[in-house]
Amino acid sequence: MKQKLFSEKNYSKKCTNCAYGTLTDDKMNVLCQKKGVKEPDDFCRKYKYDPLKRVPQKITLRSDYTAEDFML
Ligand code: SF4
């Protein structure tokens, strides 16, 4: 389970997810330790996945619940 949550395979290669990249404050560029200024969606062969930079997908909750949905 833990392996699935943080697996590199589930996320696309992007500079924003790379250990060497830092997203700028305006979120328009990534400052890379290896390649300089890059576009957020770019990547290169030095790409190294950093799970701490992953932004989880937003969860949308249904709003059409009724009282019967919570009855046993
Ligand atoms: S250019 Fe390569 S090394 Fe730099 S942040 Fe992007 S993927 Fe990582």
Residue ranges around ligand 1 (CB below 6 Å): 15, 18, 20-21, 30, 32, 34-35, 38, 42-44, 46-47
What pLDDT score does 2 carry?
Answer: 57
Residue having the nearest C-alpha atom to atom 6 of ligand 1: 15
Residue having the nearest C-alpha atom to atom 4 of ligand 1: 32
More confident position, 68 or 31: 31
Strands (E) in 1-72, as ranges, are 21-23, 30-32, 36-38
Per DSSP, what are the bridge partners of residue 22?
31
pLDDT, one tens digit per residue, over 6-63 is: 565 667 899 999 999 999 999 999 999 999 999 999 999 999 999 898 888 888 888 8
Residue 1 above 60 pLDDT?
A: no
As a whole number of angstroms, the distance between CA 29 and CA 2 comes to 31
Domain locations in the chain? 2-52
The model scores a pTM over 0.75: no
